[in-house]
Structure 1
Amino acid sequence: MLGTFLVGMVVGLVARAMHPRGPGLTVAMALLLGGVGALASFYLGRALRWFIDGQLSGWTAAILGAALLVGLAGLFARRGR
């Protein structure tokens, strides 16, 4: 669980940096949303029996979930500049 959260945090930072509209989220928000997105997609995939523990598709789901959540939040973030 901790490993999934940490990977999500790293992916959240990368997604923030690569967002086409620029970094609209704070670093703390990108870290938090990345970790939460990774955990949510990982455990949702397990609950739906798309994969079991130890499969590579679990890590793939965690990475995609983190990037998707940070990307969507970046789209709806206010631009105060």
Structure 2
Amino acid sequence: MELKPEKDQLITLAHYKMPFGKFKGRYLVQLPESYLLWFRQKGFPEGKLGFMMKQALEVKENGLEALLIKIRKDFPIDSP
């Protein structure tokens, strides 16, 4: 059973940063849970950012932040 799409998705989530606002430049996993819960209540942004924020909230609600931190360390992404 091949899990590559899920692996790639986790790596992307681990490296995804907030592109705007008070927490601009922070990894989504570093955002306060209360901030993500506020977005869930008010509505996540459209597109990839909203999807990633939903996933980050799911990770935080299940106490798996350390997993994404380890993934970010173990699977670095080249920066331009």
Give the alignment's TM-score, normalised by structure 2: 0.29
| Structure ranking higher on relative contact order (CA contacts 8 Å, 6+ apart) | 1
Give the alignment's TM-score, normalised by structure 1: 0.29
Structure with bigger helix share is 1
